[in-house]
Amino acid sequence: VQLQASGGGLVQPGGSLGLSCAASGSIFRINVMGWYRQAPGKQRELVATITSGGRTNYADSVKGRFTISRDNAKNTVYLQMNSLKPEDTCVYYCNAQMSTVVEWQRFMDYWGKGTQVTVSS
């Protein structure tokens, strides 16, 4: 079971960028999916999460600018980032609570490899 993130890159302040992250492997069920980010020398922090039913949660710093969504049929979570600021510059990580066909009752946290987002003029 793995998570593969894509997207990211360099964008000017005020610009937009989209991230996606697809889960693959012997997945039985996916519960919460989300995005976290980490700046150099700082702890990883929550950006946004979304349940399988579509309930969302956002960090105060991104409310109104970022939108998280998911496609359950594709086991994919998305993050649309608008009105980006230099302080949004971080490595972004996707996360999912998943159970496998082998241990279908046990949910574990899985992390994708980070993708760099740089907001700079």
Q: Tell me the sheet residues that pair with 37.
A: 45, 92
Among the listed residues 87, 56, 86, 88, the one whose alpha carbon sits nearest the alpha carbon of residue 69: 56
CA angle 104, 110, 115 (to 5 degrees): 150
- Between the CA of residue 72 and those of 15, 21, 91, what are the distances in Å? 28, 12, 25
The per-residue pLDDT for range 24-71, each reduced to its tens digit, is: 999 999 999 999 999 989 999 999 999 999 999 999 999 999 999 999
The per-residue pLDDT for range 62-105, each reduced to its tens digit, is: 999 999 999 999 999 999 999 999 999 999 999 999 999 998 89
At 26 the pLDDT is: 94
Total length of the chain: 121
Contacts of 86 (CB under 8 A, 6+ apart): 13, 119, 120
